Structure 1
């Protein structure tokens, strides 16, 4: 027999000999369990919305072969939905609840006694030297009271060649009419070497726009004399401690009084420039220059003293 016919015969005999062994190894398995039932729905037609996934054994599922892109997750029930209403609704607050939460406050329990504050500012305490001589000058103000009502005290004066040329003291009631302005009403007492004079005073003072410190006061004296005095000054901060202060002051009278050296109209104008150094906010020495000029009849009464330029040096402090 040829070798080509012998090879197929030997292969057929090998398969027949292995068949009983294969059948014996699978004799304990029910192969019908793996076959789908006759009335089973094809996989493509399975309605997952009707399946109870909570009873499925997800550990035995092979998720690597599942097509998650084709699954409709909107119809899957992944658990019990959260309740929209509390199990025990919160009752609406009653008047008794509000009364217990906010008990009535006894009258006067939250009232505080008015606080009393005070301030003394010596704005200028200086020595001056001009072409008509030398001397000293001062200007100071202070107050005591609360935020609205205060008692103001103001004083100013000048000495020349050891002689007091002018001095005055004012006592005024001040009331705040805005966060930046006070109205003042009171009296002024002038002291002179020859005589003294009492004035009724009314005025206003405060901080004008752009931080200009301003004051204007009208005085009514005996004999029907009226005088008005206005002052404005401004602080220019060159550094945190070095401050330049320009000042302008003017005085006007309603009638002539030769015995007091007062002429009608514009009496006197003073312009000054002072540079101070604040070692602290309460104490500051300064140097500067001041120019005074009298006008009209007041200049005639003053004679050679109608105009003067002075060098000044002094201190500014407050308590």
Structure 2
């Protein structure tokens, strides 16, 4: 006679043959789920006590103000056209949906007068996840003093591109625009390569500012930084810039090159 299976006839065989009911998440919720009052705890603890608890929860996890400041580019540049310096600072104070933004950019040649410098004060309102609409003023305080109205958008585009685009209207009626984009490519947990591009455009020639109509300036570059801490990262990089059209003519008229390749070294920080 063939040997019998020692497990034959045990209940485990029947259980193994039955289909699995699946995890609990696949079971539909009971019909009464969600049918109770929206704030049932008020009936137990009282509305006043629960209002204080809900406020504490919102203060901890909800719409509360924070301060953030970042020095995106604090650098020295050397190469065609001589040595120069540059700063690019921005930050905000506010909650997740409405904020006060402040920005400042400037540059100049080493040992010479400041060539370009600006500050911006902006009110920002969230218009989509990761995107702010910004409205405010900009003032240039190097060269001819100029004040502009500003409207722009800033945020995180698909594939993690950080975009900052703005339209400027000066008190003289000049219409200009600027678009900046950058992407962090993480090589290791601390070593990051950041390609970056920037374009400046104008609706008209502005001889007083040396700006030409159309695409006035375009720059592309890459910076390799090492984060000793998340808040502190020195970097090295290369940047190539071009002036085009009338902007190139204005630059050559001032004895400047219409294009330049520069080696850059700087520090990126935030708190």
When the two structures are superposed, what TM-score results if normalisation uses the length of structure 2?
0.78
**Separation in 1, partners of 2:41, 2:105:** 61
2:233 corresponds to which residue?
284
Name the counterpart of 2:47: 105
Instruction: Spell out, residue by residue over 1:273-305, the C-alpha distance to the aligned partner (whole angstroms, 9 max, x if none).
Output: 100000010000000000110010000000132
Instruction: Tell me the equivalent position of 1:157.
Output: 106
SS at structure 1 position matched to 2:69: strand
CA drift of 1:229 comes to: 0.5
Give the corresponding residue for 1:180. Answer: 130
After superposition, the Cα gap between the structure-2 partners of 1:101 and 1:200, relative to the gap in structure 1 and judged at 3 Å, is closer
1:309 aligned partner? 261
Question: Higher helix proportion, which one?
Answer: 1
- Residue in 1 aligned with 2:31? none
User: 1:100 and 1:124 mapped to 2: Cα distance?
Assistant: 52
Q: 1:77 matched to which residue of 2?
A: none
Partner SS for 1:210: helix
Equivalent position SS for 1:133: coil
Q: 1:64 is matched with which residue? A: none
Alignment of 1:133-172 (within 5 A): 133-162=82-111, 163-172=113-122
Higher Rg of the two aligned structures: 1
Q: 1:105 and 1:221, CA in 2 relative to 1: closer, same or farther beyond 3 A?
A: same
Scaled by the length of structure 1, what TM-score is found?
0.66
Offset, 1:190: 0.5
For the residues of structure 2 that align with 1:314 and 1:99, how far apart are their CA atoms?
A: 55
Q: Which runs of 5+ in 2 are unaligned?
A: 1-39
Partner of 1:214: 163
**Could you give the per-residue CA deviations for residues 78-114 of structure 1, whole angstroms, max 9, x where no partner exists?**
xxxxxxxxxxxxxxxxxxxx89954541384332455
Aligned-pair Cα RMSD in Å = 1.9
Q: Does 1:242 align with 2:191?
A: yes
- In structure 2, relative to structure 1, the CA distance for the partners of 1:108 and 1:276 (3 Å cut) is same
Q: 1:190 aligns with which of 140, 161, 167?
A: 140
CA distance in structure 1 between the aligned counterparts of 2:41 and 2:47, rounded to whole angstroms: 11
Structure 1's unaligned 5+ residue stretches are 1-97
Provide the rounded CA distance (Å) in 2 between the counterparts of 1:214 and 1:100: 45
Matched, 1:224 2:168: no
Q: CA–CA distance in 1 between the matches of 2:167 and 2:154?
A: 12
Aligned length: 222
Counterpart mapping for 1:1-16 below 5 A: none
Change (3 A) 1:99 1:241: closer
Structure with greater strand percent: 2
1:191 and 1:246 mapped to 2: Cα distance?
A: 29
Q: What is the DSSP-based 3-state SS (H/G/I as helix, E as strand, rest coil) of the residue aligned with 1:305?
A: coil
Give the SS at the match of 2:189: coil
Q: What is the CA–CA distance in structure 2 between the aligned matches of 1:154 and 1:293, rounded to whole Å?
A: 24
Find the aligned partners of 1:307 and 1:285 in 2 and give their Cα distance: 26
Q: Is the alpha carbon distance of 1:99 and 1:258 closer, same or farther for their aligned partners in structure 2, counting shifts above 3 Å?
A: closer
Say which is worse superposed, 100-109 or 120-129, in terms of deviation: 100-109
Q: Deviations over 1:32-66 (max 9, x none)?
A: xxxxxxxxxxxxxxxxxxxxxxxxxxxxxxxxxxx
Cα displacement string for residues 255-288 of structure 1 (whole angstroms, at most 9, x for unaligned residues) = 1111210111110001011000000100000000
Report the CA distance between 1:130 and its aligned residue: 1.6
Flag the structure with more relative contact order, 1 or 2, with Cα contacts below 8 A and sequence separation at least 6.
2
After superposition, the Cα gap between the structure-2 partners of 1:217 and 1:99, relative to the gap in structure 1 and judged at 3 Å, is closer
